[in-house]
């Protein structure tokens, strides 16, 4: 556990008699979160000129500031304008710029919400927003529209709507507790919520989305781990964006979670000026796997309002993937995704590895640029004749129902006669229908 000079100096300014036990207490950290420009200036010694102060104040009126003393202590004060922690935690007047291409809710999470707190987008899993608060307000938050709403930890009664929805929706096998930050709930509340969700027979796995290991690692206490342990299988995803965030405190938090037996994943967002560099990303993913965290997703920055200064071209993400595929361990490589505006869900993006294709040969290239061929079988016997009853593959029919296939899966399915997916309001098809009448 590090309690370095910078942290001591910050604690000194907050408390008359600073104690390490306070610094490591997550409730103390929350109580002393930095919420004003004045506090930020006082604690860091960084001072802004009048014009910039006025602009920053306007920014914080629209998108409030909140930084834990711990996360603040990671800012390199000498080079703060280029510091990845500063850029993620402290506002920029550019947030007030709104482009025509931006949305308040680009992923239509509110429209895909059958009941308060639930976003049900994919067939078998739901996102359950269990709090609307976070210990630190990321400046690049995709739910920026909600940041600064009245701080709100829902009551058991309010969470019940979500629980009831999951109970009456048997196709939900995976529940993702997010927010806000799911670990902003008290231990008692988490215990209750997890026991409710995990007792639903069709729920097979639960996931928690939290940035606590990054911005408030002291939230990961032995007591918390012992509560979460009761609800295996529980997967935990966190959100590291830059190697500077991997400190001895965050390593300790990750070790507690990994020792608790939770599979750990990381979701990074590609951010201009923070991590839009193949070298930085490679160091980050290596540090993550050293700490038993598997890089899960790398997100293209969403089209939320006020994020234009953070956005990179999609090509930057492809360049990063190009530098990882083949060059490093497969499990150190995230999937690069664009979360489709309008609520289409996450779409994986990769560099192209298939160069060409004939009826029995595929031409591929590898990460070194070597072009290679793969000869396909000449006499592949198409074993599937749709006679599932007499199939000798070991299919558990109850779990392999293709009749409900949707989208491209439906086009590939033999159990379904759909031959094309046509957009609604397609003019050509409308003309045809008209003629038929």
Ligand X SMILES: *Cc1c(COP(=O)(O)O)cnc(C)c1O
386 catalytic, yes or no? no
Quick one: three-class SS letters along the chain? Answer: CCCCHHHHHHHHHHCCCCCHHHHCCHHHHHHCCECCHHHHHHHHCCCCCHHHHHHHHHHHHHCCCCECHHHHCCCCHHHHHHCHHHHHHCCCHHHHCCCCCCECCCCCCCCCCCCCCEEEEECCEEEEECCCCCCCCCCCCCCCCCCCCCCCCCCHHHHHHHHHHHHCCCCCCEEEEECCCHHHCCHHHHHHHHHHHHCCCCCCEEEEECCHHHHCHHHCCHHHHHHHHHHCCEEEEECCCCHHHCCHHHHHHHHHHHHCCCCEEEEEECCCCCCCCHHHHHHHHHHHHHCCEEEEEEECCCCECCCHHHCCCHHHHHHHHHHHCCCCCHHHCCEEEEEECCCCEEEECCCCCEEEECCCEEEEECCCCCEEEEECCCCCCCCCCCCHHHCCCCCCHHHCCCCCCCHHHHHHCCCCCCCCCCCCCCHHHHHHHHHHC
Segment lying near ligand X (by CB under 6 A), choices 24-32, 88-96, 119-127, 396-404 = 119-127
Of 218 and 296, the one with the shorter C-beta distance to ligand X is 296
Which of 143, 207, 311, 333 does the annotation list as catalytic? 143
According to CB under 6 A, which one of 119, 135, 249, 304 is a site residue for ligand X?
119
Which residues ranging from 295 to 334 are in contact with ligand X (CB under 6 A)?
none
Annotation says 339 is catalytic = yes
55 is catalytic: no
- Which C-beta is closer to ligand X: that of 176 or that of 194? 176
8, 35, 346, 410: which one binds ligand X (CB under 6 A): 346
134 is catalytic: yes
Please report how close the Cβ of residue 79 comes to ligand X at its closest, in angstroms. Answer: 34
Q: Is 173 in the site for ligand X (CB under 6 A)?
A: no
Identity of the residue, 176 or 320, whose beta carbon is nearer to ligand X in the bound complex? 176
14, 37, 75, 127: residue in contact with ligand X (rule CB under 6 A):
127
Which of 167, 256, 346, 410 does the annotation list as catalytic?
346
Q: Select which of 3, 42, 80, 122 is catalytic.
A: 122
Selected catalytic residue, list 302, 311, 316, 333: 302
Q: Which is nearer to ligand X, 103 or 122 (CB)?
A: 122
Q: Report the residue from 11, 176, 274, 307 that binds ligand X according to the rule CB under 6 A.
A: 176
Residues that bind ligand X (CB under 6 A): 119, 121-122, 125, 127, 176, 346
The catalytic residues are 121-122, 125, 134, 138, 141, 143, 302, 339, 346
């Amino acid at each position: 556990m590090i309690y370095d000079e910078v942290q001591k100096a910050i604690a000194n300014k907050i408390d008359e008699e600073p104690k390490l036990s306070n610094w490591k207490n997550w409730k103390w950290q929350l109580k002393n979160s930095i919420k004003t420009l004045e506090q930020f200036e006082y604690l860091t010694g960084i001072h802004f000129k009048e014009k910039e102060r006025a602009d920053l104040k306007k920014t914080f009126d629209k998108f409030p500031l909140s930084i834990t003393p711990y996360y603040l202590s990671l800012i390199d004060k000498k080079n703060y304008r280029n510091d990845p922690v500063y850029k993620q935690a402290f506002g920029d007047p550019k947030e007030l710029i709104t482009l025509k291409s931006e949305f308040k809710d680009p992923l239509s999470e509110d429209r895909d919400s059958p009941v308060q707190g639930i976003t049900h987008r994919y067939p078998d899993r739901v996102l359950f927003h269990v709090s609307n608060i976070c210990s630190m307000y990321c400046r690049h938050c995709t739910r920026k529209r909600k940041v600064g709403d009245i701080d709100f930890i829902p009551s058991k009664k309010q969470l019940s709507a979500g629980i009831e929805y999951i109970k009456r929706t048997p196709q939900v096998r995976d529940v993702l507790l997010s927010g806000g930050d799911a670990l902003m709930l008290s231990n008692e509340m988490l215990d209750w919520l997890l026991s409710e969700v995990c007792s639903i027979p069709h729920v097979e796995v639960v996931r928690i989305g939290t940035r606590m290991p990054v911005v408030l690692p002291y939230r990961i206490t032995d007591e918390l781990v012992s509560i979460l342990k009761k609800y295996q299988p529980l997967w935990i995803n966190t959100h590291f964006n830059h190697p500077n965030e991997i400190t001895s405190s965050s390593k300790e938090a990750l070790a507690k979670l990994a020792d608790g037996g939770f599979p750990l994943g990381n979701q990074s967002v590609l951010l201009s000026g923070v991590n839009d560099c193949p070298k930085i990303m490679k160091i980050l993913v290596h540090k993550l796997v050293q700490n038993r965290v598997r890089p899960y997703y790398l997100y293209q920055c969403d089209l939320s309002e006020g994020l234009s200064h953070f956005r990179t071209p999609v090509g930057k993400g492809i360049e990063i993937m190009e530098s990882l595929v083949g060059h490093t361990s497969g499990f150190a490589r995230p999937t690069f995704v664009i979360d489709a505006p309008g609520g289409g869900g996450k779409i994986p993006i990769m560099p192209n590895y298939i160069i060409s294709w004939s009826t029995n040969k595929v031409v591929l290239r590898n990460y070194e640029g070597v072009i290679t061929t793969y000869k396909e079988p000449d006499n592949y016997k198409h074993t599937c004749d749709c006679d599932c009853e007499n199939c000798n593959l070991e299919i558990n029919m109850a779990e392999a129902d293709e009749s409900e296939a949707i989208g491209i899966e439906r086009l590939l399915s033999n159990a379904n006669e759909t031959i094309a997916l046509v957009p609604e309001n397609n003019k050509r098809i409308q003309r045809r229908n008209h003629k038929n009448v």
